[in-house]
Amino acid sequence: MSKTIRAAAWVVVLLGAAVAVAQPVPLPGVPEPEKLKLGVAVPLAPALPGEPIFDPNVVQGQQLLPPVAAPGGVQPTIPDSPRVTAPTGVVTTPGLAASPVSEPPPPTVRIQIQTPAHIAPGNPIPYKLIVVNSSAATAYRVKVRVPAPEGAATLTKVEPRPDNVKEFAVPAPVGNELTWEFKSLGKGERKVIELEFTPQPGAKDVRARAYVSFEHGQEVVTQVEKPKLTVTKAATKAVARGEPVTVEVRVTNAGTMPIHKVRLVEQATGGFAFKTGANAQTTQRTDQRAWDLGTLGRGQSKIVTYQLTGGRPQGGELITTSNATSADGGIAETAEAKTRILVPDLGFTLNGPASVESRGAAEYEAEVRNNGTLPLTNVVVSIPIPDDCLPTKVTKDAKRYPDRVSWTIPKMAPGEAHKFRLAVTANTSGKRVVRATARDQAGAVSAERDVATVFLGRADLRWEPNVPALLAVGKRAQITVRVRNEGEESDKGVSPRVNIPDGLRVITATPGPATQILAGEVVFDAVEIKPGKDEVFTVTVERTQPGRLRVGLRLEATSLGEKPLLKEQTIE
């Protein structure tokens, strides 16, 4: 189980702004003057009584502290894993390349104060504080701080309410500083704070300042993970007695960190001896060899190849076991491979379908192979014809008998193989077992294989819909649908539908009780009808109005597929 260690570093960035008297900037919402004279605006219309006269020569506040640049990121790299080279026996594959680490962009938060550069005595001074995240990164714990303005007497307006004052109402005397805190400020997001201060009597100017600060941090995650080795191996599946067996072992670092001091120990059974193995070391056991593989980098593999010879005279099975360990990590992984040691032998396989649809053909394929080291003569392959079946296709040069089909191979060299095919159809459904045999002339080697095939039947539905030809108003009658299965298999999805026109009223419908009686249609739940059986579906109706009525009938079933049976009958 891996664990995670998280580390975070935060940089608090402080930005500030204050009132300035530099280049003029138009105040939002204030119309442009018709003309300017010596920096004094002439408004288009006189101000309302009691309304302060705004001077449109408004400038941005000066930035008190420059934004703090986020430190540049460091892109870690993983050094190349050492490559082990050997003349024979050990091959090293490259490990995974280092992946670049991108540095997230730092946030930038700016604050701007907008206020008239001039105002008449006694009028409140409006302030608009605009806090904007002008970067692509989110800033967290954004705090706006406004100390008490110098020269201000009364606070007459504040929106939104400061976070550091629990009970607050305006007008209020100027006191301690006001603060607002925002949890985060996303890309391009802005916050607006509106204030009004009344100047002190006789004040020549009022100086207001606003500060913004935020946190910029980074978090890194380090996985605490146990090193992991994987061992896979491949060996010759089968060899003739006396032939060498080649074994290939791949040891891979499947973890995320280098693994040091990797050691591979191979052990063989069955009387075999190690023939080759470059850089191999002997151990206290004669049936073992060891390899020091050194360090495996992340994703790196080392492949060890060796050969074994000998074995027991009677053949059997060779089992090689791999054990890979790492001393510094306490890792141990094992793998196993098996090899068949063949004396003169005959390999034989038979493939065929597990089931065949009704009236379909079952195709069988037999393969005979000389897995030994000596030639075989007059090898006979025989495939019986199942009961109540007829052959439809056979491989050429076949000899046909009433109960079987056979082929003769005059001579088979070691490793030589032949394939034969037979296709049959069945007259009836049921399970057949095909047991094929292969043997040589001397009878020294033989083999037999069998395949069970189920020949499926098919449901064959016949239906007899019956609708009364005459029915008086107020009288009742029955509409019946008789369905019979004349096939060899059951049909579990038989469901008639009866369309009821206006003028008929449904009284009952059987079988039930789950039968659905919908508006204008009776839908019977699907039932199973076994071979040779039938089912009668009945709808009792009452005539409610005169005239000619048309009743539509539809039979849906699994065996019918997408082509249901349809019929329409008339009631006078």
**Residue that wins the pLDDT comparison between 53 and 120:** 120
Beta strand pairing status for 446-455 and 461-466?
A: unpaired
Residue 543 has pLDDT above 60, yes or no: yes
Q: How confident is the model at residue 384 (pLDDT cuts 50, 70, 90)?
A: very high
Q: What does the pLDDT average to over 73-94?
A: 45
- How many Cα atoms within 13 Å fall on the side-chain side of residue 186? 0
Q: What does the pLDDT average to over 178-193?
A: 92
Contact 378, 410 (CB under 8 A): yes
**Which pLDDT belongs to residue 272?**
85
**Which pLDDT belongs to residue 313?**
65
Q: What does the pLDDT average to over 392-415?
A: 91
Integer Cα distance of 451 and 560 in angstroms: 31
Q: Give the list of residues 6+ apart from residue 29 with CB closer than 8 angstroms, or none.
A: none
Residue 74 has pLDDT above 60, yes or no: no
Residue 47: DSSP 8-state: P
First to last CA, the chain: 81
Q: Which two tokens stand for residue 156?
A: 């007459």
Q: How confident is the model at residue 13 (pLDDT cuts 50, 70, 90)?
A: low
Q: How confident is the model at residue 280 (pLDDT cuts 50, 70, 90)?
A: confident
User: Could you tell me which of 493, 490, 468, 467 has the C-alpha nearest to residue 555?
Assistant: 493
Q: What does the pLDDT average to over 413-437?
A: 88
Q: How confident is the model at residue 371 (pLDDT cuts 50, 70, 90)?
A: confident
Contact 186, 133 (CB under 8 A): yes
**Which pLDDT belongs to residue 514?**
65
Q: What does the pLDDT average to over 233-246?
A: 82
Residue percentage of the chain with pLDDT more than 70: 81
**Residue that wins the pLDDT comparison between 442 and 568:** 568
Q: How confident is the model at residue 32 (pLDDT cuts 50, 70, 90)?
A: very low
What value does the mean pLDDT of the chain take?
Answer: 80
Integer Cα distance of 166 and 421 in angstroms: 93
What residue type is 190 in one-letter code? R
Produce one character per residue of 501-517: b if its CB has 16 or more CB atoms within 10 Å, e if not: eebbebeebeeeeebee
**Which pLDDT belongs to residue 82?**
32
**Which pLDDT belongs to residue 352?**
92
Q: How confident is the model at residue 358 (pLDDT cuts 50, 70, 90)?
A: confident
**Which pLDDT belongs to residue 9?**
54
Residue 131 has pLDDT above 80, yes or no: yes
Q: What does the pLDDT average to over 174-201?
A: 91
Q: What does the pLDDT average to over 257-285?
A: 85
Q: How confident is the model at residue 379 (pLDDT cuts 50, 70, 90)?
A: very high
**Which pLDDT belongs to residue 414?**
85
Q: List pLDDT tens digits, range 84-101.
A: 333 347 888 887 776 666
Residue 350 has pLDDT above 70, yes or no: yes
Q: Which two tokens stand for residue 104?
A: 């997230």
Least confident of 205-209, 254-258, 331-335, 357-361: 357-361
**Residue that wins the pLDDT comparison between 2 and 520:** 520
Residue 83 has pLDDT above 50, yes or no: no
How many residues does the structure list for the chain? 572
Cross-strand bridge partners of residue 446: 439
**Which pLDDT belongs to residue 562?**
80
User: Could you tell me which of 379, 356, 370, 345 has the C-alpha nearest to residue 451?
Assistant: 356
Residue 373 has pLDDT above 50, yes or no: yes
Residue 23 has pLDDT above 60, yes or no: no
Integer Cα distance of 204 and 192 in angstroms: 27
Residue percentage of the chain with pLDDT more than 90: 35
HEC string of 105-157 equals CCCCEEEEEECCCCCCCCCCEEEEEEEEECCCCCEEEEEEEECCCECEEEEEE
Q: What does the pLDDT average to over 467-493?
A: 89
**Which pLDDT belongs to residue 198?**
92
Give CA separation, 137 vs 70, 108, 185, 538, in Å. Answer: 12, 8, 9, 73
Give CA separation, 430 vs 181, 272, 387, 393, 488, in Å. Answer: 82, 50, 10, 21, 10
User: Could you tell me which of 553, 554, 558, 537 has the C-alpha nearest to residue 493?
Assistant: 558
Residue 59 has pLDDT above 50, yes or no: no
**Which pLDDT belongs to residue 72?**
33
Q: What does the pLDDT average to over 298-311?
A: 89
